[in-house]
């Protein structure tokens, strides 16, 4: 009798197990027809690295680990003494360049005045030469007449010599005026050359002013960079700097986590992607909040599998190929209709179970 009761209990338990197993199997099969799931997923947020733009020693740190900050809040400052000196030096360079420019402009003004005087001298010399040529012509004609008269003994020798002297004086005067004209033209050319030099000097001085202003702008910009501020609203990570520490441009010191946008990166097997499309709804279960389901939406698919973005991507051309199912990162946005308070508690790196609703 006891064996029969034991057999009945065993059969009953076995039957229940079969029914439960079959029901669960049927449920999972039916569920798989309209769902794709993975537990290879993590919460992601924008992590803004804090990177100094200038070299220097940290003078003061204004934030603490995990502190919330607003855009524009001062995070830390760098010793600015060297940069103040550079600003003063650049300002002095501008003053010197402006002085050179003013001197060059004055030289141009003086050269232009000299050119006007030289042109007047040239014109005057030209007029005097024409008058001298007329006098020479008259003196020559008089000399020729007196020469003929002297040959005929119609005038005295003294009168002839006076005519000859007048002719020679006119010739001498013409030569002197012609030399003066050449000198005036040479002086004019020299003044014009000096004016051209002054013009070039003015251009160089103006370029030096622009260069000095650019150096001053760069110096002021670097001076501003000695105060490092938050570029976004968010929460800072662990602060890895202390006063007196030397920081370098490009050195990542810590992060500000942007809590405004949250998404999930789910790594699905390539065999799961044939029915997945952008816009499908997703149920998200975060390990940190097992009793809460978050709603999400597929927004994009990675252009390549995760292995292709690794430091040493696999190269199947080596001959030792072993087929491995690859995973493709899928970006899932956390919808706005979720509980904002709970969404704000999500942290990058948290594990997520993802259920994509295919239908």
In-domain check, residue 26: no
Whether the Cβ atoms of residue 349 and residue 43 lie closer than 8 Å to each other: yes
188 and 286 in one domain? no
Task: Output the pLDDT for position 312.
Answer: 75
- Between vectors from CA 74 to CA 84 and to CA 245, what angle results, nearest 5°? 65
pLDDT in tens, 195-207: 555 566 677 777 7
- Please give the model's pTM, rounded to 2 decimal places: 0.64
Measure the CA–CA gap between 22 and 267, rounded to whole angstroms: 30
Query: Which pLDDT does position 59 carry in this prediction?
Result: 95
**Residue 94: closest CA among 199, 198, 221, 218:** 218
pLDDT digits (tens, 9 = 90+) for 290-328: 889 999 999 999 999 888 887 777 777 666 677 888 999
Mean pLDDT of 158-167: 68
pLDDT tier for residue 262 given thresholds of 50, 70 and 90: very high
Region 270-287 average pLDDT: 92
Asked, for residue 27, whether it belongs to a domain, the answer is no
- Residue 94's pLDDT is 84
Region 148-152 average pLDDT: 66
Q: Residue 314 falls within a domain, yes or no?
A: yes
Closest C-alpha to 331, from 35, 44, 38, 46: 44
Mean local confidence (pLDDT), 267-272: 92
Determine whether 24 is exposed, middle or buried from the number of CB atoms within 10 Å of its CB (0-12, 13-18, 19+): exposed
> What pLDDT is stored for residue 306 in this prediction?
85
pLDDT for the residue 174:
64
Closest CA to 210 of 92, 98, 88, 86: 98
Q: What are phi and psi of 92, to 5 degrees?
A: -65, -40
User: What's residue 54's pLDDT?
Assistant: 94
Model pLDDT, residue 13 = 78
Cβ neighbour number for residue 101 with a 10 Å cutoff: 19
Structure confidence at residue 16 (pLDDT) = 77
pLDDT(175) > 80: no
Q: Which of the listed ranges 31-35, 132-136, 329-333 does the model predict with the highest average pLDDT? A: 329-333
pLDDT above 70 for 60 = yes
pLDDT of residue 206: 76
Q: What is the mean pLDDT of the chain?
A: 80
* 3-class SS of residue 188: helix
Q: Are residues 150 and 263 both part of a single domain?
A: no
- Indicate if 233 and 317 belong to the same structural domain: no
- Cα separation of 316 and 261, whole Å? 38
> pLDDT band for position 340 (50/70/90)?
confident
Has residue 219 been placed in a domain? no
Q: What is the pLDDT of residues 3-28, one digit of tens each?
A: 555 667 777 777 778 877 777 776 66
Q: Please tell me whether residues 110 and 127 are part of one structural domain.
A: yes
In a domain, residue 230? The reply is yes
**Residue-level pLDDT at 17:** 81
User: Helices H, strands E: what count in the chain?
Assistant: 4, 15
| Mean pLDDT calculated for residue range 97-114 | 64
Are residues 181 and 93 part of one domain?
yes
Phi-psi category of residue 153: left, alpha or beta, with phi > 0 → left and psi -120 to 50 → alpha: left
Residues 94 and 205 both lie in one domain: yes
Instruction: Give the residue-averaged pLDDT of 330-352.
Output: 92
pLDDT of residue 80: 93
Q: What percent of the chain has pLDDT over 90?
A: 41
My answer on whether 152 and 89 are in the same domain is yes
Residue 21 maps to a domain: no
pLDDT of residue 35: 82
Q: Which residues lie below 8 Å from residue 62, measured CB to CB, with a gap of 6+?
A: 73, 74, 75, 76, 77
Does residue 273 sit in the same domain as residue 345?
A: yes
DSSP 8-state symbol, 126: H
pLDDT tops 70 at residue 142: no
Say yes or no to pLDDT of 118 above 60. no
Question: Is residue 215 situated within a structural domain?
Answer: no
Decide if 200 is inside a domain: yes
Domain count, the chain: 3
Confidence (pLDDT) at 98: 76
Greater confidence (81 vs 120) lies with 81
Residue 75: what pLDDT?
95
- Which residues form the domain of 153? 82-210
**Residue 230: pLDDT above 80?**
yes
Which pLDDT score is estimated for 165? 72
Query: Are residues 87 and 69 part of one domain?
Result: no
């Amino acid at each position: 009798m006891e064996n029969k009761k034991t057999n009945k209990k065993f059969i009953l338990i076995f039957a229940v197990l079969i029914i439960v197993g079959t029901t669960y199997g049927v449920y999972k099969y039916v569920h798989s027809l309209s769902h794709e799931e993975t537990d290879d997923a993590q919460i992601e947020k924008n992590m803004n690295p804090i990177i100094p733009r200038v070299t220097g020693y940290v003078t003061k740190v204004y934030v603490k680990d995990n502190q919330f900050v607003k855009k524009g809040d001062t995070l830390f400052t760098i010793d600015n003494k060297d940069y103040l000196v550079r600003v003063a030096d650049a300002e002095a360079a501008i003053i010197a360049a402006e002085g050179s420019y003013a001197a060059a402009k004055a030289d141009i003004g003086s050269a232009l005045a000299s050119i006007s005087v030289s042109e007047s001298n040239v014109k005057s010399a030209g007029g005097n030469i024409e008058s001298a040529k007329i006098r020479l012509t008259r003196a020559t004609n008089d000399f020729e007449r007196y020469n003929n008269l002297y040959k005929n003994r119609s005038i005295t020798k003294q009168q002839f010599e006076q005519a000859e002297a007048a002719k020679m004086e006119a010739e001498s005067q013409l030569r002197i005026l012609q030399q003066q004209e050449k000198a005036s033209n040479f002086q004019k050319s020299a003044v014009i050359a000096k004016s051209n030099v002054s013009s070039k000097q003015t251009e160089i001085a103006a370029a030096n002013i622009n260069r000095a202003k650019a150096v001053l702008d760069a110096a002021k910009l670097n001076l501003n960079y000695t105060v490092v501020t938050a570029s976004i609203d968010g929460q800072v990570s662990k602060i890895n700097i202390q006063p007196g520490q030397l920081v370098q441009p490009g050195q990542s010191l810590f992060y500000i986590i942007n809590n405004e946008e949250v998404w999930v990166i789910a790594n699905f097997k390539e065999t799961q992607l044939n029915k997945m499309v952008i816009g499908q709804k997703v149920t998200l279960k975060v390990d940190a909040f097992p009793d809460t389901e978050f709603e999400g939406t597929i927004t994009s698919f990675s252009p390549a599998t995760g292995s292709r973005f690794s430091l040493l991507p696999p190269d199947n051309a080596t001959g030792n190929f072993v087929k491995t199912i690859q995973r493709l990162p899928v970006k899932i946005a956390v919808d706005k209709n979720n509980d904002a308070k709970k969404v704000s508690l999500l942290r990058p790196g948290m594990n997520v179970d993802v259920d994509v609703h295919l239908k």
